[in-house]
Structure 1
Amino acid sequence: MNIGPRRNIKEMLPIHQNFIEPHNYQPLFKSPVSTRSRQQRPSKLPSFKMPSGQQVSIAVSPPVSPQWRTRNMSRAESRMFNVSPPQVPQSPKYVIQMSIFNENLLQKALQRKNNETGIKKQLVQTPEKMLHQQSLIREDLNKGSFKFLFVLGKGGFGKVWRVELCKTRKQYAMKEMSKARILSKKSVHSVMNEKILLSKLRHSFIANIHFAFQDRDHLHLVMDLLTGGDLRYHIGVNRRFTEWQTKFVIACLLLSLEYLQNNNIIHRDIKPENVVFDKKGYPRLTDFGIARVLKPENSQETSGTPGYMAPEVMCRQNHGIGVDHFALGVMIHEFMLGKRPYIGRSRKEIKEMMLTKQVNIKRQDGWSSESADICNQLLQRKQQYRLGFDGVQSIKKHPWFQHINWQSLIDKTMPSPFSELASSEDKDFKRQISSDHDSEDSLIQENAGALRRDSIQDMFKDYEYNDHGVTGSTNSTQIQ
């Protein structure tokens, strides 16, 4: 095998030396002390004597040039030993470029710091600014802002959903009401009145409103989520209540009625279906569809539920706060005896029974005489003789409530006798807001087509509402 002509190694040596070790870098690699002189110089390192008397010195590596150490040292090692790299002279153009670059970095750092301080200033805000920002965030709420979980119940105008607000992950109860059904039942005024009243009320013993919005076909009312079921459900399960359970429910309803009466409002539809328990077992008053601001002349307003309506409403007379107190007496009678005092197939039959005889019950087994007395006083047919004619305070002073600590009830620190029944959120409470079944399908379809007209949509004008972060309060201004 021919590998070509051989060259003399001596001829290649200068080329090899110039390529590997250029002349300019030889001083950097040359040790200041030659190897021969280092071997002749006596060692200054410590030594020790062996047991045999022989002197033994410690072998160490030869010293290394500081320039070699600096050039081959990593950045971390150079920072550790505080070794500064060799200074290389820079051109004037490079110095100018670096100064401009550093100035740009400084400006960006100052701008970043100003932005951070601006964010800190925004975090420290007044309550007015916070409420304004919350209103802006919640101003554009619509159906897509909520996650629909499942149906809680069915009402006369639509369904009641359990929903979750996507931004805050907080859950609410949403009443989805069909505008066509509202028009077919001529209840536009009732629905709009409920939203107006609830937007001005806030109390711990009523179902408070948080948001209200609409689209072309539906109205949406977002309220407190009450997971304990309504009172009618518990009556169906237990048939009768004990005296303490009845007293607890009536006392809580008295606090809600006292708040409404301080705002000059009468509910006019108090019944077990409109009393719903929260997760702590405390009842709350709901459904303000036929609630009204109290007026001297209201004889033509006869709305309500037969069986719980006061005689003055049935007879189309002017009525006041006593209509709500009469409904409380009906509920006590129902809890005590398992039935209402006046029963009939129609409103006319109930009215005839009411005008025929005054109800007067006697003491029942397991109940005190004070319970029968307060029931009889609340069921007086003439409102001027009825207990509570001058206000709720006269009812609260009745001997039946002498052991009630009203302040602990307001603070909700009193143990609820319904806590075990209403504590589980997994129970499927089906709250029937209304037992009516719609049979006017043709009329509903006709009204659905009428929703395309702007004049019909104007009937639901200004239905939107958001709570602006308002918290619960037992004091409120007078509603005019």
Structure 2
Amino acid sequence: MHDLRNAIHVIQTRSGPAANTSPKLVEEPDRYLHGEWSDSILEVVGHLGEGIGGAVHAVKDTRTARVLARKTILTREGPLKQLVRELSLISTLKHVNIIRFYGAYMSPSSSEVKVVMELCEGKSLQAVSERIRQRRGRVGESVARVLAEGILQGLAYLHSKKLIHRDIKPSNILLSRDGTVKLCDFGVSGELVQSVAGTFTGTAGYMAPERILAQEYSIRADVWSTGLSILELVQSRFPYPDGLAPFDLLLHISASPPPQLEDDPTLSLPWSAAIKDFIKLSLTVDPSSRPIPTEILRHPWIAKTKKRRVNMARWIAEVWNWKFDVSSPISTSGDESSPGA
């Protein structure tokens, strides 16, 4: 517990206000200058869901009226060493595609640690996918391409820090109000030792074969999970057979050819050869032949992101029925997605 208190003190020093700042709210691109956090200044305004280790709520900073996200972690239910490590890790990460961390504090009883982060109003990619399926819509290539690039940019940043996420899946991919991808939940993240890792943590259905087989793995395993998540998104279904028991699913992933993107006869347009190749490359079984994030970011399908503008703010607004300027186009690429009626 002493190590945990020390870690939180260091984190507050990193993420708190700079010396001699004005007491009024100051915002910078990568931090929210706030002072000390406590239950007394954070008002719960909604429940956002469950993350690894605890519940996540929307909370309002009563000093500024800004709404943030707060994750509550029960210290008695998880290894303190891992918790210290996670808090120390996320306090150092600053990237547009990584969720912003604003601080942490302990409850008076020391039974809970509360982590304060930016609120992603667009919710998770899992929630977005479910919403679109309910409305009988679909996600087209132009939107999927922007989402894939955001995930990979976040992973490339982690790789530059010698880190691996290890739990890339739709529920850990958040979207801001303007549609920007934010990777979250670093509870199982690990440092790379000579670019490899060796522990069996994460969500089994999105794991690369080498992880299931208990082999050494690297950031390339996160690329597999990215490809699988994008495949699930555009196909509107989990890529593996329904109804498999957990052990049978692991056996299927490790022993069967990887799933691929196939054309849907009910859609008017087939998928492009470029997105099919991107999925195929991401789901390369041999990890030594699977690209790292910076390599697959150069894939021709991803490269189109810079040439074909997509208004992600309008797209996410349509998903959640938010008000938005209807004169602003979703895309200029001709393959825009439809969130549904």
TM-score (norm 2): 0.75
1:132 corresponds in structure 2 to 19
Note closer, same or farther for the CA distance 1:362–1:335 as it changes in structure 2 (3 Å cut).
closer
For 2:121, what is the secondary structure of its paired residue? Answer: coil
Distance 1:145 1:321 in 2: 39
Q: For residue 200 of structure 1, give the secondary structure of its aligned residue in structure 2.
A: coil
1:393 corresponds, among 291, 294, 309, to 294
- Among 359, 363, 370, the alignment partner of 2:274 is 370
Q: What's the RMSD between the two structures over aligned residues? A: 2.8
Is residue 361–residue 376 contact of structure 1 (8 Å, CA) maintained in 2?
yes
- Is residue 2:128 matched to residue 1:234? yes
**Letter of the aligned partner of 2:202 in structure 1?**
G
| 1:154 pairs with one of 41, 47, 50 | 50
Query: Once structures 1 and 2 are overlaid, which stretch shifts more, 335-344 or 189-198?
Result: 335-344
SS state of the match for residue 307, structure 1? helix
* Aligned twin of 1:356: 255
Give the CA deviation at 1:382: 1.0
Deviation at 1:338, TM superposition (A): 3.1
Paired with 2:205 and 2:69, the residues of 1 have a C-alpha distance of 28
Shift of 1:376: 1.1
Pick the structure with greater CA Rg: 1
Aligned-pair identity (%):
25
> Offset at 1:273?
0.4
CA distance in 2, matches of 1:416, 1:385: 37
C-alpha distance in 1 between matches for 2:162 and 2:96? 18
2:186 alignment counterpart: 288
Q: Residues 145-184 of structure 1 correspond to what in structure 2 (within 5 A)?
A: 145-155=41-51, 157-180=53-76, 182=77
Change in 2 beyond 3 A, CA 1:189/1:420 = farther
Gaps of 5+ in 2: 1-16, 24-32, 324-341
In the alignment, the residues of structure 2 paired with residue 415 and residue 297 of structure 1 have an alpha-carbon distance, to the nearest angstrom, of 36
SS at match of 1:229: coil
Greater fraction of residues in helix: 1
For 2:85 and 2:308, locate their aligned partners in 1 and report how far apart those are by CA, in whole Å.
32
Which structure shows the higher strand fraction? 2
Counterpart of 1:260 in structure 2 is 158
Per the alignment, residue 113 of structure 2 pairs with: 219
Cα deviation, 1:20-39, whole Å, max 9, x if unaligned, reads xxxxxxxxxxxxxxxxxxxx
Query: Equivalent residue for 1:405?
Result: 306
Structure 1's unaligned 5+ residue stretches are 1-129, 426-480
Q: Using the alignment, how far apart are the partners of 2:20 and 2:245 within structure 1? A: 53
Length, aligned pairs only: 286
Give the 3 Å change call, closer, same or farther, for CA 166–242 of structure 1 in structure 2.
Answer: same
Task: Kindly indicate whether residue 211 of structure 2 is the aligned counterpart of residue 313 of structure 1.
Answer: yes
CA deviations over 1:52-72 (Å, ceiling 9, x no partner): xxxxxxxxxxxxxxxxxxxxx
Asked if 1:381 corresponds to 2:282, the answer is: no
Question: Which TM-score applies when normalising by structure 1?
Answer: 0.54
Distance of aligned partners of 1:378 and 1:223 in 2 relative to their CA distance in 1, 3 Å threshold = same
Deviation of 1:300 after TM superposition, in Å, equals 4.0
Residue 362 (structure 1) shift: 5.8
